[in-house]
Structure 1
Amino acid sequence: MTTGTDPELLSLCGLDDGWLDRRVFWDQAVYELELERIFARCWLFVAHESQLPKPGSFLTTWMGEDNVLVVRRRDGSIGAYLNSCPHRGNRVCTAEAGTARGFVCNYHGWSFGLDGTLNGVHESAAYGREPTFDQARLGLTPVARLDTYKGLVFATFDPDAPPLRDYLGEFTYYLDVMLDNDAGGTEFAGGSIKSVLGCNWKIAAENFAGDALHAGWTHASGAEAMIGRGVAELGADDADSYHVNAHGHCWEFNLDGVGNAATLGDKRIMNYLRENQERVAERLGELRARMVGSISSVNVFPNFSFLPGQNTFRTWQPKGPHRTELHTWVLVNRNAPPEVKDAWRKGAMMTFSPSGVFEMDDGENWELATRSNQGVVTRRQRLYYGLGSDTAIDHPELPGNVHRGQINDANQRAFYRRWSQLLRAATWDDLEKTR
């Protein structure tokens, strides 16, 4: 365990009674342990397959604070490597995305193939005299494992991590609401948005994990601007709304069918959803068909979030305990009409972008919530996460841990329990002992 980290802090003493230690958002030692035991160990989202359409297609992204190069290799498979030359450590690719036949380090001219192998070096004659120079051992460092789930590409640095399907577990039932509601699958609409927030990455992730409570207040004016009425008026009652979680992955939702999509203010999107609802019900069942555009939010542990209906997909990339880099894309059905795809893309820009009517509200709140914990005395005061502590239910259709009611803290508690388990467990085998 990292020196200086309080074991009681990591165990989240008091969470079962609804209380959370504020130091989880500010402590530097906790952050360093997160990089080691969460971001260097969990399965992390790194790309959508549509971003790598042909051999040579690549993008660069982050796994924790490790920069990673994700590449479509010549045989059509996908690889991911540390974006760092094994000679002096310089990045071998400085572009965010593109197409290449290979990668060359600007520092000393070492060149690498799409499969990460070292193809050649500048001044190769000099290296030929070195007995310790083994070109086969000097390729780019690959991630330990890479796998996909219905278009989403995940990677992990830990060779002992469970298979991706096991890591996602029962949560795939819910992911299919977005990823498998159409036979043609999904794609990312072109381009992405990147911005920086002065907040702890967990505050943003837990918001998407289950904070429906803030929507009716924080986003009241934004909803009024987009649809002419407040978010609260779109919600369903407790009998038709839920918090569900599995392995720290969280989805809160009601079954109104169109609430999130309606906030984009575009009839083309609404018409598309209504025209396809019967077909989606045949594919996924009536209950999940009603989830496709409903008021909801999702976080795949640790830092991959999205809003069904609004279709904004994002990662919260940690840049220290008080800074987060936000990467945002828009997911659409591959078979959707071009005008519908464009409507979703423009709708996301109007709502969840740095100047969007909803994202500005969230960003300010998250930054102020993080900054307030700077105070020594403030940091000693615990935060209340006790809403809905008695709402667990069994549901005939919904897998995982289910809680009734959309206005609830159940998913945030599940998020921090998984966080705590991972930080206290030195290996995946130790996780069971921390439950």
Structure 2
Amino acid sequence: MTLLPDPASLVNEDRADGSIYNNALLYDMEMDRIFKRNWIWVAHRSDLPDPGSFITTFVGQHPVIVSRDRKGEVHVLLNRCRHRGATVCEHKSGKAASFVCPYHGWAYGQDGALRAVPQPKGYGDSLDKSKLPLVSLRVEDYNGMIFATFNADIMPLDEWLGPAKIWIDLFMKQGAGWPIKTMGEHKFTFPGNWKIQLENTTDAYHFPIVHKSFLDSVDNQTQNIFDFVEGDGFVEDLGNGHSVMVMIPELVDLEENLDAPIPERFQKLAEALSKDYPPEKVRQIVRAVGGSGFNLNLYPNVACSMAFFRVLRPLAVDETEIRHIAIGMDGGPEIANEVRLRLHEHFQGPLGFGTPDDSEAWDRVQRGALAGYNIDILLNRGLEHEAKRESGLLFSDVTAETGMRAAYRQWLTDMTCETAIEEAAQ
């Protein structure tokens, strides 16, 4: 009989055993103890603009429908008919008055309530529709970010996010005074463990090496902006596995420094905007178009990464789905949103300079971690000069692995939680 690994023996403060990437039993534990018991990001408010709007997605490995009912309330429902288990919605997004199972025609409302059953007389008096709604998950949101969880006892989302809320608010300033909206996505899979990608979003150390082709593709002014490894940036542990990596400090608050010169690459955009907007608004829009100067990692599955949402979904111990979701200004000038999309394509797109190079590195980590036994993955960069702010939050320089240590600290808490262990044993 194969025994479950002891998570406490695999992760330390400054290192982790390489098997965390390739142990299938450990992966199964993660799906129960992390992806069923934490807040998982499922959608942005703009994905559900109207009553009846819905999208389909996943909470861990569980297919769900995220819907807005007629009263405007958001629901996250397991995409599984209560009769025989068939999915009741196969569309990626849309509007629907109800969700009807294609197998036997059971129909559910936008809130998941069972509304109708064909030929109900066949059940006699045994069918109580009020007791057979689609299973509903707990749902909360913050500043347009919608999260769901199976865990009815988890702390409120507001508490779970903690100091990360400040950074979410800063990230949303990319709307330049308008709300943020999603503008499509690039989705792909890579043959590696989900934690490899989680680490990457808080890893500035790799940027000048892995992304040299990107740096070679931009003008000198842009190269200087992205030359942040020796700069004044930092990585900060925000608690509960969250972290922020500030690469370009002058672009943290996009509503500041509006008098700064407009970068050369945005001059044509500024000229076009000046036909419809006053100079101060033009500067605000242009500054927002370039994106924020930081990556915010929200454990375990989403990052607000400079100018887009990066969402991970574990598919198997050695396979992960990644979604790069472009964002723009909801109600803002279309020309500005078009420039944002072109910038997104340049780095994150399937033919861009960033995503293919990152994916190659992740693939190599997964394959390399299979070599040998009892060889550690090092997580100690920046540890010797890590310090505490007055708030008690740990921080270090921009190339430090402080964010990775934050994530693995929460990983260890989740994986060794007595409640989770008891439930897994039942």
Of the three residues 87, 103, 106, the one matched with 1:107 is 103
Report the TM-score when normalising by structure 1.
0.84
**CA distance in 2: counterparts of 1:400 and 1:343, whole angstroms:** 40
1:276, distance to aligned residue in structure 2 (A): 6.2
1:70, distance to aligned residue in structure 2 (A): 0.4
Matched, 1:173 2:173: no
Could you say if the C-alpha distance between residues 266 and 82 of structure 1 is closer, same or farther in structure 2, counting changes exceeding 3 Å? Answer: farther
**CA distance in 2: counterparts of 1:277 and 1:20, whole angstroms:** 48
CA contact (8 A) 2:387 2:394 kept: yes
Q: Match for residue 413 of structure 1? A: 405
| Matches for 1:68-217 after TM superposition, within 5 Å | 68-127=64-123, 129=124, 131-143=125-137, 145-180=138-173, 184=177, 186-208=179-201, 210-217=202-209
Question: Which range moved further: 176-185 or 342-351?
Answer: 176-185
1:72, distance to aligned residue in structure 2 (A): 0.7
1:41, distance to aligned residue in structure 2 (A): 0.8
Could you say if the C-alpha distance between residues 20 and 106 of structure 1 is closer, same or farther in structure 2, counting changes exceeding 3 Å? Answer: same
Q: Report the secondary structure of 1:59's partner residue.
A: strand
Q: Report the secondary structure of 2:184's partner residue.
A: coil
Q: Report the secondary structure of 1:346's partner residue.
A: helix
1:265, distance to aligned residue in structure 2 (A): 5.7
CA contact (8 A) 2:55 2:67 kept: yes
**CA distance in 2: counterparts of 1:429 and 1:27, whole angstroms:** 18
Q: Report the secondary structure of 1:173's partner residue.
A: helix
User: Structure 2: where are the runs of 5+ without partners?
Assistant: 255-261, 274-278
Percent sequence identity over matched residues? 28
Of the three residues 297, 300, 303, the one matched with 2:301 is 303
Q: Match for residue 284 of structure 1? A: none
1:329, distance to aligned residue in structure 2 (A): 1.2
Could you say if the C-alpha distance between residues 263 and 175 of structure 1 is closer, same or farther in structure 2, counting changes exceeding 3 Å? Answer: farther
Letter in 2 for 1:359: T
CA contact (8 A) 2:174 2:180 kept: no
| Matches for 1:181-330 after TM superposition, within 5 Å | 184=177, 186-208=179-201, 210-228=202-220, 234-236=226-228, 240-246=232-238, 247-257=240-250, 267=267, 293=291, 295-308=293-306, 311-330=307-326
Could you say if the C-alpha distance between residues 276 and 217 of structure 1 is closer, same or farther in structure 2, counting changes exceeding 3 Å? Answer: farther
CA contact (8 A) 2:296 2:303 kept: yes
**CA distance in 1: counterparts of 2:386 and 2:317, whole angstroms:** 32
Question: Which range moved further: 401-410 or 55-64?
Answer: 401-410
Of the three residues 410, 416, 426, the one matched with 1:424 is 416
Q: Match for residue 38 of structure 2? A: 42
Report the TM-score when normalising by structure 2.
0.86
CA contact (8 A) 1:196 1:326 kept: yes
Count of paired positions: 405
1:256, distance to aligned residue in structure 2 (A): 4.4
**CA distance in 1: counterparts of 2:344 and 2:394, whole angstroms:** 29
Could you say if the C-alpha distance between residues 151 and 233 of structure 1 is closer, same or farther in structure 2, counting changes exceeding 3 Å? Answer: closer
Letter in 2 for 1:363: S
| 1:371-422 deviations in Å (ceiling 9; x for gaps) | 22234x2x431111111112233446xx562423111111111111111111
Q: Match for residue 276 of structure 2? A: none
**CA distance in 1: counterparts of 2:213 and 2:222, whole angstroms:** 7
Could you say if the C-alpha distance between residues 6 and 211 of structure 1 is closer, same or farther in structure 2, counting changes exceeding 3 Å? Answer: same
Question: Which range moved further: 191-200 or 318-327?
Answer: 191-200
Could you say if the C-alpha distance between residues 427 and 136 of structure 1 is closer, same or farther in structure 2, counting changes exceeding 3 Å? Answer: same
CA contact (8 A) 1:220 1:231 kept: no
Could you say if the C-alpha distance between residues 257 and 233 of structure 1 is closer, same or farther in structure 2, counting changes exceeding 3 Å? Answer: closer
Question: Which range moved further: 339-348 or 98-107?
Answer: 339-348
**CA distance in 2: counterparts of 1:157 and 1:370, whole angstroms:** 29
Matched, 1:349 2:345: yes
Q: Report the secondary structure of 1:188's partner residue.
A: strand
Q: Report the secondary structure of 1:319's partner residue.
A: strand
Q: Match for residue 257 of structure 2? A: none
Letter in 1 for 2:416: R
**CA distance in 2: counterparts of 1:44 and 1:185, whole angstroms:** 26
| 1:329-374 deviations in Å (ceiling 9; x for gaps) | 1223435322111211222122102222100000111012112223
User: Structure 1: where are the runs of 5+ without partners?
Assistant: 281-288, 431-435
